[in-house]
Amino acid sequence: MRQALLIIDVQPSFSPPQWLIDGIQSLIGKLPSVATVERHDENRTPFKRQLGWHPAADDDSLIAADRIFIKYGYAPSPDTIEYLKSLNLDRVLVCGLQTETCCLAAGFALFNAGLQPTLLTDLTLGSSLDRSGGLGVRLWEHHFKHALTSSELHSCLQAS
């Protein structure tokens, strides 16, 4: 199965827990990886004006993915989606922050591009609304169906 890992916004602005970084890092080198980094530019996305908060203007990924794409706002950039499409994948494994916002937005972008988004349910963390990520996982399964755990993925990778 041709698959790649899409790591959403694991960056200092969001203070990801070490278990999440370590879990995602354990997959690096086992399959192609792409990470997004959300940066702030109020002229592109009105985080400060509408939400009273914004990510840093110069954050970097805490995961050393094969490719890093900058985004402004919730969804991955069109360049990110085009790059993933160019890999001719069977599925895109999504992990990172925040399950019910940026990860879900990535799922919609992948789905709309004809790709199969698959959430790694134990390698995501929700927003302050639901830190467990449970709400995001339920929304993901409702909209995209495909989800698995990192243990299930590791088993698939070992069997290949």
In sequence order, what DSSP letters do the residues of the chain get, joined into one string?
--EEEEEE--SGGG---HHHHHHHHTTBTTB-EEEEEE---TTT--IIIIIS----SS---SS--SEEEEESSSSPPHHHHHHHHHT--SEEEEEEE-IIIIIHHHHHHHHHTT--EEEEEEEEE--TT-TT-HHHHHHHHHHH--EE-HHHHHHHHHH-
Residue located via tokens 């990470």: 35
The per-residue pLDDT for 128 is: 84
**Residue 47: which residues within 8 A CB-CB, separation 6 or more?**
40, 53, 54, 55
For residue 132, the model assigns a pLDDT of 86
What's the confidence (pLDDT) of residue 49? 94
Tokens standing for residue 53: 């908060």
Q: How many CB atoms sit inside 10 A of residue 135's CB?
A: 15
Looking at residue 75, its amino acid is A
pLDDT one digit per residue (tens) for the chain, 160 residues: 899 999 999 999 999 999 999 999 999 999 999 999 999 999 999 999 999 988 888 999 999 999 999 999 999 999 999 999 999 999 999 999 999 999 999 999 999 999 999 999 999 999 888 888 899 999 999 999 999 999 999 898 888 7
